[in-house]
Amino acid sequence: MPSYFEIHGYRVYIYRNDHRPAHIHVRGPDGTVVFILNCKTSGPLEVRERWGIADDMVRKLARAITPEIKRLCAAWRKDNGYY
């Protein structure tokens, strides 16, 4: 599972050969959140599931990741095919 970047102490990654829809996993010291990328419309991010991360941190992560949606969608397509 390649990491794409780290933000606020959380690692952003995409599993290879993962299921659709296109999504990212964000893991940090207090838990994990999975965001659907909504690649066809270049966002917005949508929370699919989360474990242990407070609402305010989920919002902070979403704001920080949003500018990277196009790059993450390109990485998803390279590793997993169509969105």
Q: pTM here?
A: 0.93
Does residue 30 have a pLDDT over 80? Answer: yes
Q: Could you tell me the pLDDT band of residue 4, with boundaries at 50, 70 and 90?
A: confident
With the CA atoms of 71, 63, 6 and 37 taken in that order, what torsion angle do they form, in degrees rounded to the nearest 10? -40
Secondary structure element (H or E) that encloses residue 41, with its range: none
- Which residue, chain included where needed, has tokens 């990741």? 65
Is the CB of residue 14 less than 8 Å from the CB of residue 68?
no
